[in-house]
A and B are shown apart, each in its own frame.
Chain A
Amino acid sequence: MEIEIHVIHYLVISTVMMFCGIYGFFTRKNLLALLISVELMLNAVNVNFAVFNRYLFPDRLEGHFFSLFGIAVAAAETAVAIAIIINVYRNVKQVLTDDITDLKG
């Protein structure tokens, strides 16, 4: 039996990814886990861009470009975030969010 893949299927997947990311961001305490959650959310968005472009405006490419941009930005952001996390760990010997409160105003 052959299932035709429709736009809704993609959207369900991206929604699940989005909320997994949100849930992870709210519940996990480890900074690395938070970073992974953020990546999940970003990728959910990228999927949406690609899907909407593919199904709604097949003759244009802006959505794909945006996905590529998102991926590039996410990569850069990850590099910066990991650098920050490493430095935080060196200074505080800790990567749990509840214990890193010294920089509040």
Chain B
Amino acid sequence: MDYTILILALPALSFLLLALAGMKMSHRVAGIVGTLSLAAVTVLSYATACSYFTAGRMEDGLYPTLVPWNFEWLPFTPSLHIDMGILLDPISVLMLVVVSTVSLMVHIYSFGYMKGEKGFQRYYAFLSLFTFAMLGLVVATNIFQMYVFWELVGVSSYLLIGFYYTKPEAIAASKKAFIVTRFADLGFLIGILIYGYYMQTFTFTPSEERLMQAGMVLPWALGLMFVGGAGKSAMFPLHIWLPDAMEGPTPVSALIHAATMVVAGVYLVARMFPLYVDFAPHVLHAVAWVGAFTALYAASVACVQSDIKRVLAFSTISQIGFMMVALGVCTDADPHGGGLGYMAGMFHLFTHAMFKALLFLGAGCIIHAVHSNEMEMMGGLRRYMPVTHITFLVACLAIAGIPPFSGFFSKDEILTACFGFSPAMGWIMTAIAGMTAFYMFRLYYGIFWGKENRELHARHTPHESPLAMTFPLVFLALVTVGAGFIPFGRFVSANGHAYDIHLDWGVAGTSIVVALAAIALATWMYARDRQPVADMLAARFSRLHRAAYRRFYMDEAWLFVTKRVIFRCVSVPVAWFDRHVIDQFMNFLAWGTNAAGESLQPVQNGRIQAYTWWFLSGIIVLTAVLLLF
């Protein structure tokens, strides 16, 4: 497994090459360098996954945890040191596959989507940087390495959201994303420090003795770590950056803000899962409720958005909520007795990454063709863009949870786990799954059916995208169709033992019926040229509609908290104190030194004999002192 170091090294090298020498290359060469290095990474990731899972289980029935590469970076005490290395266990191998697949697809897709853009080489350099950071995050051997790469993905996300750096909205969005996630990462960092202090280690497996001594501290540390995860994974109320992050190029949204980076929070919880479930079950259930509320909130907002990327962004938030719920409802590490959610959450992470990347890339094709994000500008595109249409439909069916598409299997496991936790949670999540189907098909019909935008088509007929863009769509669609049949529980489960997925037809039947009903409702409401029912509902509940359209005023609430409360009540007095007390004290010191200098300055008048007089009197004084004492 020594070659796994290349999985990290190749994107890093390609980033350095493209960042330093990219401007000397043509667009084509830069793109090929980035894509080839990523293709090699993908091949290596698949090889790693193959050899890891085919090597078989150990005697105790678990897959081994391998550390093929590790070095001590910052030693503090003999037990407390920060390492950098590569850790392979089922979830990190899974994430390697997810990240490299989606990243490779995005690299290929960007050839078509970003063709001729200014800064093409820079774009590929940042993509390589992001891939490096994300891969480093998933293979982290300890929580601190995870944090380092965690910040690095934040930086590359910032750089890519602000890729169009002449556009004010993009700049504002990139700053917002960075500040909000940094703010959340403060919690993560404090959590890590508490964890490191009490556990005397940064690894994921502290000693039994330390765990027993920790008491109430460990739940706090884990809760604070979840705050960081909530920021990155856009959990309510820290979700506000993700919809704005859609200002970045669409393939970036697909890679970072749908498939990989935003699930880092889920991955964090999964990584710390053994500690959560044994020592902080209440925190874990709080995670579940936060996830459920976020899923509900985001699904209701997604139902009324008109910008297609915003709809997908809120759908992402909602789906990450599902994953969090799945992890949070676990009550035990045994998948047969309350630990099913872990497997379900990771399964959903996998399938969601594929179909959500597909949705975003499809949306990119549509935006490429129509030159607008607004649903009003679209309609009737199915005749012009058949490949995009079919693949988008596949992804919509998958996210809506229709068998045999992959989303059905993972969502069904999540719902089963929720019903196992409490019926209330189960019904809430089933309802949200129905809302998911509704808003996805509202989006689908709004784009591909309904009234054609003849005015636009007369000027510029939409056309199917080039092969570089349709190939990733087709590939991801095939994965989406097939991924549900992967016996996922054999590879990943809460306690590591093999678990055979078996459908609970009660739950599955209910969710299929709900999803079909929601799709039928969406078809009835939106699959026509005019939408009287939707307009009537919007007019009847105009206040609710507007509130949902404005995302229930969460951005305004945050602005109120920051500008009115924090800036006015904290920052202004602090600034006053700084300006009038601290600065004045410093000014006084400077003024005093200056005045002393000014008054002593005439002594140094350049006349040599004046100096000798001072010298002589000094000697006389010193002599007198020596004689007297």
Chains A and B bind each other: yes
**Interfacial residues, chain A to chain B (CB-CB below 8 A):** 25-26, 29, 34, 97-98, 100-105
B607 to A97, Cβ gap below 8 A?
yes
A98 to B613, Cβ gap below 8 A?
no
Residues of B with C-beta under 8 A to A34: 608
Chain B interface mostly helix, strand, loop or mixed? helix
**Closest beta carbon of chain B to A36's beta carbon, Å:** 15
Residues of A with C-beta under 8 A to B609: 25-26, 29, 97-98
**Closest beta carbon of chain A to B611's beta carbon, Å:** 10
A42→B237 CA distance, assembly (Å): 87
Residues of A with C-beta under 8 A to B604: 104-105
A25→B611 CA distance, assembly (Å): 12
Name B605's contact: one of A25, A26, A104 (CB within 8 Å): A104
Residues of B with C-beta under 8 A to A103: 606
**Closest beta carbon of chain A to B618's beta carbon, Å:** 14
A-B complex: 6 closest residue pairs judged by Cβ atoms:
A101-B606, A104-B606, A97-B608, A98-B607, A104-B604, A97-B609
B612 interface residue per 8 A CB criterion: yes
A105→B600 CA distance, assembly (Å): 13
**Interfacial residues, chain B to chain A (CB-CB below 8 A):** 604-609, 612-613, 616
A102→B609 CA distance, assembly (Å): 15
Name A25's contact: one of B606, B607, B612 (CB within 8 Å): B612
Residues of A with C-beta under 8 A to B605: 101, 104
**Closest beta carbon of chain A to B46's beta carbon, Å:** 74
**Closest beta carbon of chain A to B607's beta carbon, Å:** 6
Residues of B with C-beta under 8 A to A101: 605-607
Residues of A with C-beta under 8 A to B607: 97-98, 101
**Closest beta carbon of chain B to A15's beta carbon, Å:** 16
A99→B541 CA distance, assembly (Å): 95
**Closest beta carbon of chain B to A19's beta carbon, Å:** 12
B606 to A26, Cβ gap below 8 A?
no
> Mind listing 18 A-B residue pairs with CB under 8 Å?
A26-B609, A26-B612, A26-B613, A29-B609, A97-B607, A97-B608, A97-B609, A98-B607, A98-B609, A100-B606, A100-B608, A101-B605, A101-B607, A103-B606, A104-B604, A104-B605, A104-B606, A105-B604
A104→B613 CA distance, assembly (Å): 17
A103→B606 CA distance, assembly (Å): 7
Residues of A with C-beta under 8 A to B613: 26
What is the chain A residue whose CB lies nearest that of B608?
A: A97
What is the chain B residue whose CB lies nearest that of A97?
A: B608
How many pairs, one residue from A and one from B, have CB atoms within 8 Å of each other in the complex?
24
What is the chain A residue whose CB lies nearest that of B616?
A: A26
A28→B616 CA distance, assembly (Å): 16
**Closest beta carbon of chain A to B427's beta carbon, Å:** 86
Name A102's contact: one of B606, B608, B612, B616 (CB within 8 Å): B606
**Closest beta carbon of chain B to A40's beta carbon, Å:** 15
Known: A34-B608, A101-B607; 10 extra A-B contacts, CB below 8 A, are A25-B609, A25-B612, A26-B612, A26-B613, A97-B608, A98-B607, A98-B609, A100-B606, A102-B606, A105-B604
A34→B612 CA distance, assembly (Å): 12
What is the chain B residue whose CB lies nearest that of A102?
A: B606
A59→B549 CA distance, assembly (Å): 111
Q: Which of B608, B613, B616 has the most CB of A within 10 A?
A: B608
A25→B607 CA distance, assembly (Å): 13
**Closest beta carbon of chain A to B525's beta carbon, Å:** 87
A98→B608 CA distance, assembly (Å): 8
A105→B611 CA distance, assembly (Å): 13
Residues of A with C-beta under 8 A to B616: 26
A51→B616 CA distance, assembly (Å): 26
What is the chain B residue whose CB lies nearest that of A105?
A: B604
A72→B613 CA distance, assembly (Å): 28
A69→B243 CA distance, assembly (Å): 87
What is the chain B residue whose CB lies nearest that of A99?
A: B607
**Closest beta carbon of chain B to A102's beta carbon, Å:** 7
Q: Which of A34, A100, A104 has the most CB of B within 10 A?
A: A104
A64→B612 CA distance, assembly (Å): 30
A97→B612 CA distance, assembly (Å): 12
A34→B604 CA distance, assembly (Å): 20
What is the chain B residue whose CB lies nearest that of A101?
A: B606
A67→B608 CA distance, assembly (Å): 28
**Closest beta carbon of chain A to B620's beta carbon, Å:** 12
A77→B612 CA distance, assembly (Å): 19
**Closest beta carbon of chain A to B194's beta carbon, Å:** 56
What is the chain B residue whose CB lies nearest that of A29?
A: B609
**Closest beta carbon of chain B to A99's beta carbon, Å:** 9
What is the chain B residue whose CB lies nearest that of A103?
A: B606
A26→B605 CA distance, assembly (Å): 16
A29→B609 CA distance, assembly (Å): 8
A72→B185 CA distance, assembly (Å): 75
Residues of B with C-beta under 8 A to A25: 609, 612
Residues of B with C-beta under 8 A to A100: 606, 608
**Closest beta carbon of chain B to A75's beta carbon, Å:** 22
Residues of B with C-beta under 8 A to A26: 609, 612-613, 616
**Closest beta carbon of chain A to B602's beta carbon, Å:** 11
**Closest beta carbon of chain B to A86's beta carbon, Å:** 17
**Closest beta carbon of chain A to B613's beta carbon, Å:** 7
A44→B352 CA distance, assembly (Å): 100
**Closest beta carbon of chain A to B14's beta carbon, Å:** 58
A26→B616 CA distance, assembly (Å): 10
A58→B215 CA distance, assembly (Å): 89
**Closest beta carbon of chain A to B585's beta carbon, Å:** 29
A29→B605 CA distance, assembly (Å): 16
A100→B608 CA distance, assembly (Å): 9
A12→B612 CA distance, assembly (Å): 24
A26→B606 CA distance, assembly (Å): 15
A97→B605 CA distance, assembly (Å): 12
**Closest beta carbon of chain A to B71's beta carbon, Å:** 55
**Closest beta carbon of chain A to B146's beta carbon, Å:** 58
A3→B270 CA distance, assembly (Å): 112
A101→B609 CA distance, assembly (Å): 11
**Closest beta carbon of chain A to B521's beta carbon, Å:** 89
Residues of B with C-beta under 8 A to A102: 606
**Closest beta carbon of chain B to A94's beta carbon, Å:** 13
